[in-house]
Amino acid sequence: MISFSYLSGVYAAAVTPLKPDFSPDLQALPALLDFLAQRGCHGVLLFGTTGEGPSFSPPERLEVLKAAQNIQQSRPDFRILVGTGTPSLTETIELTRATFDQGADGVVVLPPYYYRKVNDEGLFAWFSEVIRSAVPSGKALLGYHIPPVTGVPLSLDLLSRLRDAYPDRFAGIKDSSADLEHARLVGAKFGADLLILNGTDRLFSQALLAGASGCITALGNLFSPDLRRVWDAHQRGESDEVAQKRLDAARSISEKYPPAPPLLKMLLSKWYGLPAWPVRPPLIGLSAETIEKALADIEPLRDE
């Protein structure tokens, strides 16, 4: 069984820089990734939920991946994961294959989320086709477990079957269930045999204790220093309660202003001078009144 532990660590679910016409801002992307690397991220997930992934076509995602890889010239250890899951089996296979051909470190794949009543047999068949057709041996595919959004959970039995069938390609999951009991069950069942990347900032410390391998979170765009402090403390066999409390507070505030991409893009601009990137419809930017309220709420948590 191959170990994918080299992909452990702190990942930002990166926002996607956009031009005013909503096309990807390829020139702005390397600066964003360098900013995240400087602030403690081991890598990023492009085109996750925070990156507005389902709003972009496969050619657009591959263009962005190509631009993102410029950072690896100066930071060769910086890892790039890409969201490649779509409801279409054919499109998911083609995008996943092209993503690996282009040199990504791994993919994070949503289940086919249109049909919400499918069972594990159907999901196993679907993921098997993707893995066999598009994932080279030794490369990492992670399932994206986010049932509040997709309505299609990835059961423990399904994860076990995929790991047993494809130990050299099925690496684990991004767990965005926001469910501590689920995090504990996954950790207890799989231990170090599965790469488990937690998706909920307020659960990070507890998820690590339950066996998580790291995190991929929206707040990694802004609060990666705190995530990294929690991670580093865990590696020393310690805890950083101060950093975790900041993450708890930041997550509670961010949930008052959903969805996350407009808020994060606004704060990256206001706090750190990055461009004021728009979001792609159907998402819309925050109103002036909402921006004022959000800034007042979260300003006390800003790092200098």
Enzyme catalytic residues: 49, 114, 144, 174
Residue that is written with structure tokens 């994961």 in the block: 81
Long-range contacts for 296-302 (Cβ within 8 Å, ≥24 apart)? 297/253, 297/256, 298/250, 298/253, 298/254, 298/267, 301/223, 301/246, 301/249, 301/250, 301/253, 302/271
Query: Which tokens hold the place of 101?
Result: 């051909």
Which DSSP category does 285 fall into?
P
| CA pair distance 176, 254, nearest whole angstrom | 16
| CA pair distance 304, 286, nearest whole angstrom | 24
Taking the alpha carbons at both ends of the chain, their separation in whole angstroms is 44
CA distances from 298 to 155, 232, 263, 267, 280 (A): 36, 25, 11, 9, 24
**Which residue(s) pair with 217 in the sheet?**
12
Residue that is written with structure tokens 């016409």 in the block: 21
CA count, 13 A, side-chain hemisphere, 134 = 28
Helix axes 288-298, 241-254, angle to 10 degrees: 160
Q: List, in order, residues 6 or more apart from 167 with CB less than 8 Å away.
A: 1, 2
